[in-house]
Amino acid sequence: MRKAIVPLFAASGLIFMTAPILIARAPYESTMGLVQKIFYFHFPPAILMLVSSIFCGILSGLFLIKKRPVFDWMAFAAAELTVLYGAMAMVTGPLWARKAWGVWWQWDARLTMSLLMWMVFVSYLLLRRYGGPGSETLAAGLALFGMATAPFVYLSVNIWRTIHPLTSVVPTLPVDFALPLWYAFLGFFLMYLALMALRVRIEEQRAMLDQLYLESEE
Amino acid sequence: MNAFWRVVWVVARKDLAIEARSRELINTTVFFAVSCVVVFSVSFVGEGGDGRAIGDAAAGILWIAIAFSGTLALGRTFERERYGDTLRALLLAPGARAAVYVGKLLGIIALLIATQVVVVPLVALLFQASLFEHFGMVAALLVAGTIGFASVGTLFAAMLARARSRDVLLPILLYPVTIPVMIAGVRGTSALLAAEPQLDMARLWIMLLVSFDVVFVTLSLWTFESLMTE
């Protein structure tokens, strides 16, 4: 895991440097034109936020059952990354919406549910920061509730009529659009892995330091 | 199964007996809910006019009053356990942990419903809201919404009972998770309060609330045990 951090950062950096070329060469979408290009930076973090929240929930469940600290470190990292990627999706979303829908924000099902999920994970971080000793167990319980909102976020556009595009859009994209999209996605994904590895390593070191501190006290 | 329900009954009866003698929570919670309604009525009812709230504000005010006073009551019930050092005793009691949770939950639901008995007529009176026209549906919305809110609330309040800065953390954790319940409650109630009551719409929201209840109660029962171990 540790040896992979630098190559992962390098690979995602390389992709982020070259992705604009592919995105610039992709054809213009017929109705939205240039504005639609935000899509390449909106969809990947949004999907990764969802995946990350589910990942955090599963790891938290494992931590509650098995009590192994490594699950907790990974769940903590996943929660932070959920908030980070959610913030990216929620900055790029309104920028696009302003041009495409004429408003910055709309209280439709997809947007509301995404915001709520993001808030659950922000509260997770607040709990861990200010909850005092034992808060990692409590946060794990909260993450399970956060994970329970993920299917609602994903399916909300199909169940309720909203102005957000449906989930069927991405799988049926023509290849000219799909290629830069998945290329950008790969960049975001590798960055996710790199940050996750780095974050887990920090927690690992912190636990080791605590251990050493305790031993020197005795 | 019988032993399970006996523990549930003992825990719930204990809380209700304390409440019947001190009336601490019911008095403070009801008065807090009334204050909430009054504060909102000042903001959402224009001077003169017909005395009705702007738009569907009546439904929103009712649910906000329930959520706010519910948060306060949740914090207090576990504060009481902590103050008397009885939380550990409760958890050490023989019988399933989940039974302790269900007992606590029933006590809180009873308290919140008692609050609603006061708040619902008050909202109907102050905002000329026709809450009693389809009373069965309104009651179903309130009960389903209260169960959803209280099930998550009881779990979070219990697990936060020993955490630092629990007073502020409880609403911070509780609201994002329970906002779907609030949305369903408010939308369902305002569908009933509309000039042309939309019964189908309200029924749909009740169904949604019931499905939230199932998810929340299942998750809470499943996690209560592992979250309350020391």
Q: Given a cut of 90, is residue A77 above it in pLDDT?
A: yes
Question: Quick check: A141 and B162 CB within 8 A?
Answer: no
Q: How far apart are CA B69 and CA A49, in angstroms?
A: 33
Q: Given a cut of 90, is residue A127 above it in pLDDT?
A: yes
Q: How far apart are CA A81 and CA A78, in angstroms?
A: 5
Question: pLDDT tens across A141-162, in order?
Answer: 999 998 888 887 777 777 676 7
CA A58 to chain centre: 15
Domain borders along chain B are 2-227
Question: pLDDT tens across B73-82, in order?
Answer: 998 888 888 8
Q: Tell me which of A15-29, A161-175, B46-60, B146-160 is least confident.
A: B46-60
Q: Given a cut of 80, is residue B174 above it in pLDDT?
A: yes
SS3 content of chain B, % helix, strand, coil (to 5): 80, 0, 15
Can you give the pLDDT at residue B197?
A: 83
Can you give the pLDDT at residue B230?
A: 58
Mean pLDDT of A170-188: 86
Can you give the pLDDT at residue A61?
A: 93
| Helix (H) / strand (E) containing A38 | none
What ipTM score was computed for the predicted complex, to two decimals?
Answer: 0.85
Is B53 strand, coil or helix? strand
- Distance from the Cα of A45 to chain B's closest Cα (Å) equals 21
Mean pLDDT of A118-125: 94
Mean pLDDT over the full length of chain A: 88
Q: Taking Cα atoms as reference points, which of A51, A116, A166 lies closest to residue B184? A: A116
Can you give the pLDDT at residue A102?
A: 85
Can you give the pLDDT at residue B50?
A: 64
| Helix (H) / strand (E) containing A103 | none
Q: Which of A107-121, A143-157, B33-47 has the highest mean pLDDT?
A: A107-121
Can you give the pLDDT at residue B42?
A: 81
Contacts of B60 in chain A (CB under 8 A): none
Percent of chain B with pLDDT strictly greater than 90:
40
Is B198 strand, coil or helix? coil
- Straight-line distance from the first to the last Cα atom of chain A, in angstroms, rounded to the nearest whole number: 32
How far apart, in Å, are the Cα atoms of B133 and each of B119, B142, B163?
A: 16, 15, 45
Q: What is the pTM of this model?
A: 0.88
Can you give the pLDDT at residue B47?
A: 65
Question: Quick check: A137 and B180 CB within 8 A?
Answer: no
Can you give the pLDDT at residue A161?
A: 66
Chain A residue with minimal CA distance to B221? A141
Q: Taking Cα atoms as reference points, which of B103, B125, B119, B107 lies closest to residue B51? A: B125
Q: Tell me which of B116-120, B125-129, B212-216 is least confident.
A: B125-129
Question: Quick check: A126 and B176 CB within 8 A?
Answer: no
pLDDT bin (cut points 50, 70, 90) of residue A101 is: confident
- Structurally, at CATH architecture level, domain A2-26+37-216 sits in Up-down Bundle (1.20)
pLDDT bin (cut points 50, 70, 90) of residue B51 is: low
Q: How far apart are CA B159 and CA B144, in angstroms?
A: 23
Query: b/e for A67-91, b at 16 or more Cβ within 10 A?
Result: eeeebbbbbbbbbbbbbbbbebbbe
Question: Quick check: A131 and B163 CB within 8 A?
Answer: yes
